[in-house]
Chains A and B, each alone.
Chain A
Amino acid sequence: MRTTDRILAIMLGLAGFVFGILVICEVVYSQVGNVGHLVIPYEPVASFLREHRWKDVLVIVIGCIVALAGLLLLVAEVRRRRPDLSVLRGRRDDVLTAMSNRSVGRAITAAVDQVPGISSSATAVRRNRISVTARTGLRDPRDLESSVTAAATDAVRDLDLIGAPRLRVRVAHLRGSS
């Protein structure tokens, strides 16, 4: 979101700067006695606004689009952003070590993939919760869930995270296997 914000800021900043300068030029141009526009062809816009009434469908549709775009932008900016790094227990007070949630997920996935009987796995790391989904082709998984839980728990312990996220493990049967 930060990158999107920065791209939007650069685009809108540039547009605002250029538009502001052009409007000043247009005002000066018209105030010294010239007729018509200098750079911004505003006449078609003015005619459109003169010819359309507030109740016209096109005006209402444009209003809806503007309101929706504004609402989306407002919600995207106001919504609380999830922190994307998990902090590891420090070796020194002056060193703060963190790992991206994606990396935490990769460490757990790598550990779970080592469990015999597991074909593949995926891990989603969120604040206070880690969800592991492991897939097996075995007909009778039996204790597989406890093995996967143990492997994932060990991986989390090895990372030495400060936060203690809850671990949720699910073993799914591979589609098409017997």
Chain B
Amino acid sequence: MTPAPAYLSAETRAPGTIRTNRVVLALLGLALFLAGTAAVLVGLGVLGSARALRPVLDRPVETFVGDNRWIWAVVAATAALLALFSLLWLLMQARSNRLSTLPLEQRGSGGHTILNASALSAAVVRDIQDIRGVDRATAHLRGSPPDHELSIHVQLDGRVPARDIHERVVHRVIADARRALAVDSLATRLELDLPKVAQRDIR
């Protein structure tokens, strides 16, 4: 058992997409930086004063494009690759690691039992919202079985110490979820949030 980390990043629906966005945007930033720097260096005459005096779209370039018709096939192929990559990148934004169903452990050979994940998460949310000191809660299953994880977010109202709510959620609600799934262990990520202004009991 690895020790728990002291700090975590906020939960995300698609960690792979987050990484891809970061890499692609960093590469795009690098490309823009290099292109902009190159243009400035040419303009300042660092790469030769004769080159700085030439038009940006130079005659030899136009002549080369005019003489070589195959260049248009390359342009079209590059544009097709750009469109394909952009489409894949767009579709990737819709990815989610949330589970809609959860296959339960099979006992015997009498078929398969599948649990609707929303049934479990709705029951968990209902039980948590019954706890005094909870304003609202959300829950969902994520990952892929058997390495799935129950993720719970609880917004407290500030009337009850977070430690007490933590105890109740772990020992009552998550324990019930484990019993419902007939498992000894259920990986769970529980996030608690305190309100800006604590609510008060009206007596």
Contacts and interface: CB of A to CB of B under 8 A. Distances in A.
Interface string B8-51: 11101000011001111110111111111111101111000001
A27 B75 contact: yes
Given A19-B82, A91-B166, A98 B76 contact: no
Contacts of B25: 5, 8-9, 12, 73, 77
Interface range on chain B (Cβ under 8 Å from partner): 35 or more
Contacts of B45: 55
Interface of B: 1, 4-10, 12, 17-18, 21-26, 28-40, 42-45, 51-57, 72, 75-76, 79-87, 89-90, 92-93, 158, 161-163, 166-167, 170-171, 174, 185-196, 198
Given A91-B170, A95-B190, A53 B53 contact: yes
Interface majority SS (helix, strand, loop, mixed), chain A? helix
A46 interface: yes
A107 B42 CA distance: 57
Contacts, number: 250
Interface range on chain A (Cβ under 8 Å from partner): 35 or more
Contacts of B192: 88, 97-99, 103
A49 B58 CA distance: 8
Given A16-B85, A49-B56, A70-B33, A99 B26 contact: no
